[in-house]
Amino acid sequence: MTLDWRKKPKTSRIQRHRKCLYIKENILLIFNCFSNSIDIGGIILKGNPIEEMKKIHESEYGIEPEIISQAPGVINLLGEHTDFSDGYVIQAAINNSVKIAISRRFDNSLRFFAADMGERKKTTIANLKYKREDRWANYIKGVLYEFIQLGYSFKGLDITISGDISPGIGLGSSAAVGVATAMALRELFDFDMTGIQVVQTAYLSESAFIGNAERLTDQFCIYFAEENSAVFLDVRTLEYANIPFSLSDYKLIITNSNVPVIDSEDEIKDRIEECQKCLTVLNSKKQGSSLRDFTQSDLEQSIGMLTESSRRLCLHVIDENQRVLDGKRQLEQKDYLSFGRLLNRSHESLRDNFEVSCPELDWLVKRAAEIDGCSGSRMAGPGFCGCTISLMREDSFAKYNERLEEYDRIFGFKAEYFICKPAGRARVIYSNINRDL
């Protein structure tokens, strides 16, 4: 099917949520990124994650779940802020994930339990709408709402959520919730949905139901990723390729700067609008539907017609698209040294041209890149806070730890890092469905 993910939702639906920060700070306080155990009623559950989720769900609702789905987080390797220009992106699913457990009810009640924070929310199918006070539950409610919009029907549900994706730092935690919920519903009710429809539903649950200025690429990668691979996506055509990304000498390191989350939506929106204005200028000399259709040479020919700040914004998008194409080739050749250098150049452009970095991220990237054994590093996510990604040999970790201690002394934030392994796609990990109900 053809999916126009850029289509704007109805205004009445967007008006329910003008600022996303409140939810983004809470969606996923439910995710305790560095914990391998869950405390339910004073009982610590460890071991098999499926059995853990079954026990948690049964403890809360008095019945085992019929379905459990799992969706990974996602990291953007290259292609930051190219999606709005129909560009290219390379992403990888990560081995931190969200789990959703569901059992059916015989009434129309919807009950939600965030296991990692012991918080409960409830509503009914008839009253399924965005509510600010429901915070994290809105991401699940949005998926249910979009299923109903597609014509699917169901009665009440008991839903449990748990995960270990660090929130608010650009690892696709909310997208993982959406995809995991959509996959669980599709399996539970045997709905006839294609993969791209699952992606679309998860995307609309954020962009339309909640009003977040999110991109489809996270949901796409989460659904179509393969283990030890990266996903190359052409945003214009939705053509994609799974590229082997099995790291041996190098490790993929994600470092959380722990800079407080800020609402960058308006800042990013201003940059996108400025790029769209520049597109009109560029079209006076050469026709194109997005910045993807232009080159550095085209930009140079428009000097004098664009402000310097506008030119640099466009330059980032044009160069970043080319970096993605170059990076795809280098990953295919397993040339991780060259790929690392692209990470460095991407960060320089995000810092100097698109201007979405911050001193803390710049410091982390610079200090990582100085270490012998680090092929490259850059900020990840929309900007102004969040995390960095680095390709680094394991024998460099001791030196990196020293740099992070220095970071703490300078900035007052304690940075944390973890080794990330490219993971497989979202999937159903447990099913015990009675089709006679």
Look at residue 418 in the predicted model and tell me its pLDDT: 93
Lowest mean pLDDT among 3-12, 256-265, 277-286: 3-12
pLDDT band for position 46 (cuts 50, 70, 90):
low
399 is written with which tokens?
């030196």
Nearest residue to 267 via CA among 350, 387, 169: 350
Please determine, for residue 374, whether its predicted confidence score (pLDDT) is greater than 60.
yes
CA distance 168 to 255: 13
> What share of residues in the chain are helix, strand, coil (percent, to 5)?
40, 25, 35
The domain limits of the chain are 11-76+88-246+423-431, 252-420
Can you tell me the distance from the alpha carbon of 336 to that of 65, in angstroms, rounded to the nearest whole number? 43
Neighbours of 255 (CB within 10 A): 26
Which pLDDT tens digit goes with each residue over 221-249? 999 999 999 999 999 999 999 999 988 89
**Predicted pLDDT at 213:** 72
pLDDT digits (tens, 9 = 90+) for 204-213: 999 999 988 7
Helix intervals (H) in 123-172: 137-149
Mean pLDDT of 342-363: 97
Q: Residue 19 corresponds to which tokens in the numbers above?
A: 């600022």
Question: Tens of pLDDT along 105-132?
Answer: 999 999 999 999 899 999 999 999 999 8
H or E element in which residue 61 lies: helix 49-61
How are beta strands 229-234 and 240-244 bridged, if at all? antiparallel
Superfamily covering domain 252-420: GHMP kinase, C-terminal domain (3.30.70.890)
Q: What are phi and psi of 278, to 5 degrees?
A: -65, -35
Note the pLDDT of residue 323.
Answer: 98
**263-290: average pLDDT:** 92
Give the mean model confidence (pLDDT) for residues 154-170.
93
Quick check: 270 and 409 in contact, CB under 8 A? no
Q: Is the dihedral of CA 284, 285, 286, 290 positive or negative?
A: negative
Asked whether 351 and 313 are in contact (CB, 8 A), the reply is no
Q: What is the pLDDT of residues 290-347, one digit of tens each?
A: 999 999 999 999 888 999 999 999 999 999 999 999 999 999 999 999 999 999 999 9
The pLDDT assigned to 219 comes to 97
With the C-alpha atoms ordered 297, 348, 379, 208, is the resulting torsion angle positive or negative? negative
**What distance lies between CA 110 and its chain's CA centroid?**
26
Give per-residue pLDDT as tens, 8-24. 333 333 333 323 333 44
Domain 11-76+88-246+423-431: which CATH number of 3.40.50.740, 3.40.50.2300, 3.30.230.10, 1.10.3720.10: 3.30.230.10
d(CA 318, CA 310): 12
Residue with tokens 């998926």: 143
Region 343-353 average pLDDT? 98
CB 222 within 8 A of CB 74: yes
**pLDDT band, residue 434 (cuts 50/70/90):** confident
Q: What predicted TM-score, i.e. pTM, was given to this entire model? A: 0.89
Catalytic residues: 218
As a whole number of angstroms, the longest Cα–Cα distance in the chain is: 70
